[in-house]
Homo-oligomer: A and B are copies of this chain.
Amino acid sequence: MALKTLGAKAAAALDKELMSTGAFSLDQLMELAGLSVSQVVYRVHPVSKGRRVLVAVGPGNNGGDGLVAARHLRHYGYQPTIYYPKRPKNELYQRLAKQLEDLDVPFVDDFPVALQSTDHVVDAIFGFSFSGEVREPFPAVIQAMAETKLPVTSVDAPSSWDIEEGPPKSGVGSNFHPDVLVSLTAPKPLVKHFRGRHFIGGRFVAPAIAKKYGFDVPAYEGLDQIVEVGPDGLKL
């Protein structure tokens, strides 16, 4: 059985559909996506392995998912730290950041320094809408995530990877291979190049919508918002 994936254009169309005919708000979807990411971190890196989680947050919705995940992780007993160098004047992202500040979650400016005192890294820089060049200040951040020996969990896509083609042939991100990937709603074509632990999250897609976009709602279990899958996209 071939792995069913969702290309960049299809993923954008699905997002749009969920928020129009699907009647979801971005607040709702981001809350559920971030909850999924937090459950993956809890699964692959329980609190007993070290509480400190450094979350690299990008300027768009992928970053928003990271902010939500950090809040849930804080409630689970982790000690998240946020690197959020580009904070757009977007009301939702500002609110998500404020929710973290109210939980005394620190925001830091120097990613390589922060990397020296953490136990796990969440890459929430770029998601399925990324294409082209990695802009400042993110090249050095991605390079640091590529070089660190700490476990890295990427949200929806390893940042800098082309959504269809995977890792760049050269330059920033060409050597970036995160340990864990959380595909939101459905894997993107880049997963063919990913060799770590792969989870699907986002337990909110109606079967009819999944069918329309050519993927299956994965076999989530119990209350889980996530499911770990193998290279064929089937539950491990």
Contact = CB atoms under 8 A, between A and B. Distances in A.
Contacts of A42: 222-223
Report whether over half of chain A's contact residues are helix, strand or loop; otherwise say mixed. helix
B39 A206 contact: no
A210 B28 CA distance: 24
Interface string A83-107: 0000000001011101100110000
A96 B24 CA distance: 8
Contacts of A203: 75
A117 interface: no
Contacts of A222: 42, 76
A102 B210 CA distance: 12
Interface string A182-218: 0000000000000000000001101111000000000
A39 B209 contact: no
A23 interface: yes
A25 interface: yes
A223 to B, nearest CB: 6
B22 A220 contact: no
A42 B103 CA distance: 29
Contacts of A209: 102
A82 interface: no
- Residue picked from A35, A95, A206, most chain B C-beta under 10 Å: A206
A4 B35 CA distance: 29
11 contacts: A23-B96, A23-B102, A24-B95, A27-B28, A28-B28, A39-B223, A42-B222, A75-B204, A76-B223, A102-B206, A102-B208
Given A22-B98, A99-B206, 7 more contacts: A24-B95, A24-B99, A27-B27, A27-B31, A38-B223, A39-B223, A76-B222
